[in-house]
Chains A and B, each alone.
Chain A
Amino acid sequence: AQSVTQPDIHITVSEGASLELRCNYSYGATPYLFWYVQSPGQGLQLLLKYFSGDTLVQGIKGFEAEFKRSQSSFNLRKPSVHWSDAAEYFCAVSDRTDKLIFGTGTRLQVFP
């Protein structure tokens, strides 16, 4: 069965610092992978997605993620965090049937 693990429940960084949020997945074949962001009181917004091809994926708001098959990982990165990036981040995997399996999320706090 598919599953997603986000090992970090809560991460705190200073504004301007780099960020990496970890995501590990379990799936038999090459999955579809997604990162979503959820601000307080808001729905989820898609940051980026990986289906195939180049393993380094660029998304919105300056985020990128790298698919590493050997590590079953799809970590999200940003070189310089802004205070507005404070939110909950969810990694998700799909088996190509439109069914998304989400991780438990990582809450990002940004200090000025």
Chain B
Amino acid sequence: EAGVVQSPRYKIIEKKQPVAFWCNPISGHNTLYWYLQNLGQGPELLIRYENEEAVDDSQLPKDRFSAERLKGVDSTLKIQPAELGDSAVYLCASSPAGGDEQYFGPGTRLTVT
């Protein structure tokens, strides 16, 4: 069984530029999560999807961050414009319906210069 796939693995951009991250969850998993992990910190939830619906986006900075999961499968997280403080690792995770374990992808390390 393939795990959670994320791309790109690394991204370097200049501040004020847009950036997008892609996540493909484990097949059949209807719940998808995006987490932000700052250096030396644990992951923090940005947004959670149940199929196509964003059921918890309370921690997503909506002025510059957006996310979508149009067909209830893969998802894209976008930042526009990026700021220096956005440098971090962005993790995607998925879980099956009724499941109690989240399966994490390897993450995208973003560096904003």
Contacts and interface: CB of A to CB of B under 8 A. Distances in A.
Contact of A90 (B42, B45, B56, B95): B42
Centre residue among B42, B101, B102, B104 by max chain A CB count within 10 A:
B42
B87 to A, nearest CB: 16
Interface string A66-93: 0000000000000000000000001010
Contacts of A28: none
Interface residues of A, number: 21
B100 A104 contact: no
A19 interface: no
Centre residue among A4, A49, A102, A103 by max chain B CB count within 10 A:
A102
Given A43-B4, A44-B91, A46-B101, A102 B106 contact: no
A105 B42 contact: yes
7 contacts: A4-B42, A36-B104, A41-B106, A44-B93, A90-B42, A98-B48, A103-B42
Interface of B: 3-4, 31, 33, 40-45, 48, 56, 91, 93, 95, 100-107
